[in-house]
Amino acid sequence: MAKKASPAKSENASKPNQLARQINLKTAFGSLKGLDLSGGEKKLARIAGVAISIEEGHGDYGRWLRFLGNFAAINADTGVVIEATKCILPGPQGEALGDRYMAQLREDATASCKFSGDLYAVPRQGYADQDSDNFQKYDLEFRTVIAPDFQNPALELLNAA
């Protein structure tokens, strides 16, 4: 009988992967309160996954897109890996990827979207002029590590046989 493969562990081998309801900024990195960007931008996490569907909604901060499928994120500071079946990518790059995937789904309702990228906090230009503690001093950027791949895996498997 074949030995069952053990689940992948993060670089911090003493901690197993953690499960979350969804991957987002808070679950992938934690709070950004007090984040010091005086040295420039900061890598927060790497997020990767395969979406099989997408949801769209509106909340207090405007439009959001939530990918559904299998996702993982690794915290750039702690090495802790989070896994979830839902993922929200922040920033305009996350929204652009979601829009591209929604367009692909209109052409092929069974298409999936495979992606991987790094999430950065980037100092917002001119924030030093703002005296409010509530002013967001950074922008979030999702930078692609592996170009998004839109495909129908079931058809690929059928054609490969």
68 found inside a domain: yes
- Decide if pLDDT at 161 tops 70: no
Sign (positive or negative) of CA dihedral 112, 114, 120, 125? negative
134 found inside a domain: yes
Alpha-carbon dihedral 153, 16, 145, 103, rounded to 10 degrees: 40
- Decide if pLDDT at 102 tops 50: yes
At 128-148, the pLDDT tens digits run 544 455 456 788 999 999 999
Structural domain harbouring 77: 18-160
67 found inside a domain: yes
- Decide if pLDDT at 68 tops 90: yes
Q: How far is CA 49 from CA 4, 87, 114, in A?
A: 23, 9, 6
How is residue 34 written in tokens? 């007090």
Is-contact 71 85, C-beta < 8 A?
Answer: yes
135 found inside a domain: yes
Q: Which amino acid belongs to residue 126? A: G
- Decide if pLDDT at 88 tops 90: yes
Distance CA 86, CA 72 (A): 10
pLDDT of res. 158:
87
Q: pTM (2 decimals)?
A: 0.80
Quote the number of domains for the chain: 1
